Amino acid sequence: MCKIKNILLFFFFVIISLQVFDLSAKNRFPKPEFESGHVQPETITPAPRAMILEYIDVFVLIVALSLISWLILKKRSRKGVFWMSVFTILYFGFYKQGCVCAVGSVQNVTLALFNESYNIPITALLFFVIPLLYTLFFGRTFCAGVCPLGAIQDIFAFRPMPIKAWLEKVLGIIPFIYLGLAILYAATGTDFIICRYDPFIGFYRLDATFMMFMLGAIFLLIGVFIARPYCRFLCPYGALLNIVSRFSFKHMTITPANCINCKLCESSCPFGAINMPAPVKEKEKTEVIVKRYVLLSVIVPVLIFAGGFIASNFHENLAMVNHKVKLATEVMNNTNFGLKDKEAIEITAFKSSGQTIEQLYSEAAVIIDEFYIGSWILGCFIGLVFGLTLVSLTVFKYHSDYSPNKATCHSCARCMDYCPVLPEKK
Amino acid sequence: MIKEKEHNSSKAHFWKSVLIIAGVFSFALCILIIGNYFQINKADPVNTKVINTLVDRLNQNPGDQALINEIREFDLLARKAYFTNQWQIRFGGYLLLFGVIVMLISVLMMDSTKKKVQAITFVKDDKLPTTQRNSRKWITIGGIALAVITLIFAFLSHNELGNKFSQKESSESKLNKNDSLMVDSNNIQNSDTLKINSDSSNLDTVITVGLIEFPTAAMMSNFPSFRGPGGNGIAYQKNIPTSWDGASGKNIKWKTAIPLPGYNSPVVWGDKVFLTGANGTKQEVYCFSKSSGKILWTADVSGIQGSPSTAPKVTDDTGYSAPTVTTDGEKVYAVFATGDIIALDMTGNKVWARNIGIPVNHYGHSSSLLLYENKLIVQYDQNNGAKVMALSTQSGKTIWSTLRKVKISWASPVIVNTGSRVEILLIAEPYVASYDPATGKELWKIDCTSGEVGPSVAYANGIVFALNEYAKLAAIQIGDQPKILWENNDYLSDVPSPVATDKYLFVVTSYGEVACYNPKTGDKYWNHDFGTGTYSSPMLVGEKIYLMDKKGTMHIFKADKTFSSVGDPKLGENTVSTPAFADGKIFVRAGNNLYCIGK
């Protein structure tokens, strides 16, 4: 049965990819020629979405977050979380077409901080702040079933398989690197890479490039066996929530009362986000730990500096994503974007813009300078992430019972279904 | 129990059937969409064999109306077929989506019939220290691998791009400069022949670089730019009236309606007064007769290569033509919020025009133009790549362009003669800087301001006065090592610029208060509140300051150690522009009109 389903899913992704890829390529054939008298209608720019609808979206977000937090913390209902995910896919996914979403709003906030001419829409700001606030209070309930990217993956997680804890830790660093890159590119006004490479937006809009459809399909297919791969190993907003959730006041618990160590929930979490009981005897010798701490206290600043140094040397490569730097490079090297038969459309557009070549060079030089500074900061940040992760792996945390890992737990409530403990009667 | 089992079994059977039906349905749709995909990929509705044959026949017999109709019918059919295919694919996509959703629901429902929830079959994890050790090991390996790969890529592709761009930019500038010098030398040769006909003043200006004559006598006898010659807030004029009345018409020589709106100010040369107007779809330069107020000509600024098809967004209080024009008596130069810049001769004919790049400016470009010898100075402090440029007045080509690491500014350049050299003074967050007008080289700069800078600087006696709202007022002793003599933040401005003499500095706030300082020490002599806000900059004319407020009242007071009012004549129309003074007259843009005030 599972095989049939997977084969059919594969067909679905391939076909969706094919049709969209083809349409985008074919839509550009010339307009019919009319001899005279016919006036081509003017292109009409659609009016922006009404402000009231934007506020309704914020209202829906707050209601959804409140409801799912209640379902998880009070009702302890996995079924409730599932239906919230369905609602999210329908409303924030297909109806809202995945925009504005909290994940991408990181870039809006960054751009607003670094570019005074950009006025951040209030809804983008609220979509950034509200899930963070809820996470601070209730843990990652946003990830559980209000994020359209997480919800679609959660529904596809049919046969989750375990992955090694060390691999989870290593891959868990990637979202922080991605977050750093997204901030760098947003701050320099280069691109919103989180949105551009959002693998699921194509499904919600039924419109994306062939490659993006394939990427989305790959993520969903992987997600059948490795639950929520994007959330765990890429999502930059998840990296922020990971930090905030550690300080959450009232995070969900696996047991409604005292844990009886029955081990039934041990294998229930598809994200490996359950802290197993750790007996004190497992603890390493204190002197070994102290030695390692001393070593790490030296290594962390070195890692920060080394990260900054390495990334700053890489700044030109990072800057090549910027279209102006790319254009200036192509013009300077006279490479015409690799085209031989005709002039590249970017070159033609530049020529008709009226901008002079020295202006282009001067702007590109400014951008390169910005990337140099930004790369230093990015590298230092990545070095810090590596350093702090190593430090956290030195700390021995004593657990007497099964509890969710506040940082990585997506509050999906699966583990609750396995717990035989009944709530204490008041 | 048995009943429940049977119920679950029949439920599972039902959902299994639904799953199979949905699966077959989706599979069939997949096949259909694949077929359609290949069909649409093969078809080219504008290049069919039949139509091409018919078109060939039409070329041989162009007048065949029946053939034309036949081609049209085939063309319509081909397009219809193409769009129908498109519709089929899209509709098929939606159906497929529906099929997959049903499949997903079926799987979920089947799972729900199973009695026990399926646990994830995890392999028992290693003990905590082992896990931590492994994690540390692999994070270290991963980090080292990432660092090595990054370094290899950085090493292999290191290109010194930043330096290369800077070098290329300066070499391009040199090329343009050479072009421009060629133009100028041509001009000199032409002038040599003209010299016989007597007028060689322009020639002198070109070849006597180094002999400091700024502002020139011609500039001082006219009013060639925003805030007068060099933009320093001083009008070298006499016999300017001090009383008039807009309501009764006393001393109002003429009043002419301006066709398009704009916040720029008038400039005067000879018998002509110049203004611009724009509204987002039209850009115009106007020339008025100084004596009669009649519009002598209107130049439409359009069709410039590189000009944006849609005007950039600007705010209502800046508009599309905030920058004031400038003139050298031979040509008049104008710039607009679109980045279009134009040079017109004195009869309104275009000499050259270009687009210098759409300014990235959230309010709209407002910096006015200035002239120095054969160079048109443009302060282009926009969001990406702020710079100051000198364009050839002959050809419009860039003579030099100097990058500025500043934020967007709405201030205008000021050109002053310090006695030893001529300097261009610019202000924008975070600094005031000076540039050599001949080469564009930065002579000095000093950090002293912040925020969205609107007011331009004032200069007198070797001291530059710079201020901005929410920042401070700074008096800067100029030189290769500039220093701040004194600072104050009691009276600041976000629009009007200050004006200074050797003895006094006058600061006008946007809400209508004026303060007079000792320019050397910063001691305040007096302050006076006029009660009405002002966006217009004060002008020093002889021994008097002329300050127009927003409601159209001109406050005239003596440039003196104590406040002494000369008069407060009213025009009766709101204005934000700075008046021009020439030939015993005042020219004011107020409301939609240009006024001439004179005895």
Instruction: Give the global pTM.
Output: 0.58
Segment A52-81, tens digit of pLDDT: 888 999 999 999 999 999 999 999 999 999
Q: Would the CB atoms of A173 and B138 count as touching at under 8 Å?
A: no
By mean pLDDT, which of A44-48, A358-362, B306-310 is the weakest?
A44-48
Segment B505-559, tens digit of pLDDT: 999 999 999 999 999 999 999 999 999 999 999 999 999 999 999 999 999 999 9
Chain A: residue whose CA lies nearest to B161 = A316
Segment B8-48, tens digit of pLDDT: 788 888 888 898 898 899 888 878 877 777 777 677 777 78
Whole-number Å distance between alpha carbons of B539 and B266: 13
pLDDT score for B88: 82
Whole-number Å distance between alpha carbons of B384 and A117: 11
Whole-number Å distance between alpha carbons of B250 and B358: 44
Q: Which of A409, A406, A424 is nearest to A249 (CA)?
A: A406
Q: How confident is the model at residue B194 (pLDDT cuts 50, 70, 90)?
A: very low
Backbone angles phi, psi at B351, to 5 degrees: -95, -50
pLDDT score for A12: 53
Whole-number Å distance between alpha carbons of A334 and A322: 18
pLDDT score for B195: 31
Find how far residue B73's CA is from the centre of its chain: 50
CA R_g for chain B? 36
Nearest to B162 among A8, A167, A369 (CB): A369
Q: Which of A116, A42, A280, A19 is nearest to B384 (CA)?
A: A116
pLDDT score for B172: 63
Q: Would the CB atoms of B151 and A313 count as touching at under 8 Å?
A: yes
Q: How confident is the model at residue B346 (pLDDT cuts 50, 70, 90)?
A: very high
- Work out the minimum CA distance from B62 to partner chain A, whole angstroms: 13
CB of A61 within 8 A of CB of A127?
yes
Chain B: residue whose CA lies nearest to A170 = B139
pLDDT score for B171: 67
pLDDT score for A16: 53
Chain A: residue whose CA lies nearest to B110 = A1
Q: Is B272 helix (H, G, I), strand (E, B) or coil?
A: strand
Whole-number Å distance between alpha carbons of B30 and B581: 79
Q: How confident is the model at residue B587 (pLDDT cuts 50, 70, 90)?
A: very high
Residues of A in contact with B150 (CB under 8 A): 310-311, 313-314
Interface of A with B in 379-398 (CB under 8 A): 386, 389-390, 393-394, 396
pLDDT score for B597: 95
Percent of chain B having pLDDT more than 70?
89
- Work out the minimum CA distance from A244 to partner chain B, whole angstroms: 23
Residues of B in contact with A386 (CB under 8 A): 139, 143
Whole-number Å distance between alpha carbons of B194 and A9: 84
By mean pLDDT, which of A172-181, A207-216, B57-66, B338-347 is the weakest?
A207-216
Whether pLDDT at B75 is above 60: yes
- Work out the minimum CA distance from A212 to partner chain B, whole angstroms: 16
Q: How confident is the model at residue B124 (pLDDT cuts 50, 70, 90)?
A: low
Pairing of strands B544-548, B539-541: antiparallel
- Work out the minimum CA distance from A4 to partner chain B, whole angstroms: 8
Strand order, beta sheet including B565-567? B234-235, B539-541, B544-548, B554-558, B565-567
More confident residue, B241 or A37: B241
More confident residue, A175 or A426: A175
Interface of A with B in 168-197 (CB under 8 A): 169-170, 173, 189
More confident residue, A235 or B156: A235
Q: Which of B416, B409, B411 is nearest to B386 (CA)?
A: B409
pLDDT score for B180: 42
- Work out the minimum CA distance from B367 to partner chain A, whole angstroms: 17
Whether pLDDT at B563 is above 90: yes
Whole-number Å distance between alpha carbons of B514 and B505: 10
Backbone angles phi, psi at A178, to 5 degrees: -65, -40
Q: Would the CB atoms of A169 and B139 count as touching at under 8 Å?
A: yes
Q: Which of B495, B506, B513 is nearest to B575 (CA)?
A: B495
By mean pLDDT, which of A159-163, B173-177, B383-387, B425-429 is the weakest?
B173-177
Q: Would the CB atoms of B33 and A19 count as touching at under 8 Å?
A: yes
CB of B411 within 8 A of CB of B454?
yes
Q: Is the peptide bond before B378 cis (omega within 30 degrees of 0)?
A: no
Q: Which of B310, B209, B345, B327 is nearest to B264 (CA)?
A: B327
What ipTM did this prediction achieve?
0.83
Q: Helices marked H in A344-406 — which ranges? A: 345-353, 357-392
Q: Would the CB atoms of B137 and A166 count as touching at under 8 Å?
A: yes
- Work out the minimum CA distance from A139 to partner chain B, whole angstroms: 23
More confident residue, B199 or A320: A320
Q: Which one of B36, B77, B152, B161 makes the best mutation probe of the A interface by having the most chain A beta carbons within 10 Å?
A: B161
Residue type, A363: E
